[in-house]
Amino acid sequence: MKFKEHWVAYLFLSPWVLFFLVFLMYPFFLSFQNSFLDINVLNPENTRFVGLGNWITVVSDGKFWLSLFNVLFNQIIFITLSFVVALLAALMLNEIEFMASLFRTILFVPVITSITVAMIIFDFLVSPVGPIQENLQSIGMLAAPVFWKFEQWLPMPMIALFSAWKWFGVQMIIFLGGIASINKSLYEAADLDGASWWRKVTKITLPMIKPQIIFVLTINIINGLQMFVEVFMNFDLQGGPYNSALTPVLHLYQTGFEQMKMGEASTIGLLLAVIIFVLTTLQMKITAKGD
């Protein structure tokens, strides 16, 4: 391939270079710089250098750690639930041919629905006067309506339940892709040995789709730590009862846009980015070792 002049190539690359400089590099340095400053957007002339002040405030403020605890609590429930459902759905879809694509499409519908729409529906379904609680009461499984938004330990599990309904489809599709690429002769050999379905799943399918499983876990953690709309829709900026629905991003939003402390908010963002980055790198290291 001969291509005498590179200028066209550079021209074609330039959108990325511009984007990188303006929307990745510059804000990165800005947020680094901000984390040492005390800034109020409304009166920027009062900006002053506070050194590690913001970092000390954020780290010593229990709210940051509480918000991390909340998302991790949420993610443990969400990941377990959605993983099991997605894997089961993928295994079932893999066994059938007739109408497989229809079922796959239906199970994927929540993924394409916006969080706003899905949350309004979910909110109605599980509300104290909603259909689910009414049914549970009429068959005697629930004594009194549960006001989950006012209980300290319910918001995160409820949101995890919602997220599992909304997102299991993505994981299911990724698992299906993994299962499809497994060499069929492995199963034939297992069949000759008279292996049971369960044994084939645990000894062949699961080990073979390990890359997909690790990918899904990584994506979940990255997204989970950045949860915002779900809690904002339900609790506005309040963070739920006893701050039990406060997520790091909500904490950042409160600090930056309610209290107008942009420096401190930048620090929260930077700290969270570092945590996510470390977790992702760790995940990748583990995957690389396995291969």
Partner 1 sequence: MIKNRKQQWLIYGGLIAASVMVLYPFFFMIMNSFKTGSEIMHAPNAMPQEWSFRGYIEVFKAIDLFRIFGNTIFVASAITFLNCLLSSMVAFAIVKTNMPGREFWLKMILSSMMIPGILFTIPVYMMMYDWGWINTFRALIIPGSISAYNIFLLVQFMKQIDNAYLEAARIDGAGEFRIFFKIVLPMLRPALATVGILTFMNAWNDFMGPLLYIRDDSMLTLQLALFKFQTNVPGGNLEQLWAMTTMIAVPVVFVFFFMQKNFIKAFTGVGVK
The total of other beta-carbon atoms located within 10 Å of residue 83's CB is 18
Can you say whether residue 236 is alpha, beta or left, with left for phi > 0 and alpha for psi between -120 and 50 degrees?
left
Q: Rounded distance, CA 178 to CA 191, Å?
A: 20
Nearer to partner 1, 75 or 212 (CB): 212
Degrees to nearest 5, angle at CA 82 with 79 and 84:
100
The nearest distance, CB 56 to partner 1, in angstroms, is: 18
The nearest distance, CB 140 to partner 1, in angstroms, is: 16
Q: Rounded distance, CA 191 to CA 188, Å?
A: 5
CA distances from 216 to 202, 219, 229, 245, 275 (A): 18, 5, 21, 24, 18
Nearer to partner 1, 155 or 269 (CB): 269
Nearer to partner 1, 124 or 153 (CB): 124
Residue of 222, 207, 258, 217 lying closest to 237 (CA atoms): 258
The nearest distance, CB 151 to partner 1, in angstroms, is: 19
CB neighbour burial string for 177-205, b if at least 16 within 10 angstroms, e if fewer? ebbeeeeeeeeeebeeeebeeeebeeebb
The nearest distance, CB 160 to partner 1, in angstroms, is: 16
SS3 270: helix
Nearer to partner 1, 28 or 153 (CB): 28
Nearer to partner 1, 154 or 162 (CB): 162
The nearest distance, CB 256 to partner 1, in angstroms, is: 5
The nearest distance, CB 186 to partner 1, in angstroms, is: 13
Q: Rounded distance, CA 217 to CA 98, Å?
A: 31
The nearest distance, CB 63 to partner 1, in angstroms, is: 16
Nearer to partner 1, 153 or 238 (CB): 238
Nearer to partner 1, 153 or 278 (CB): 278
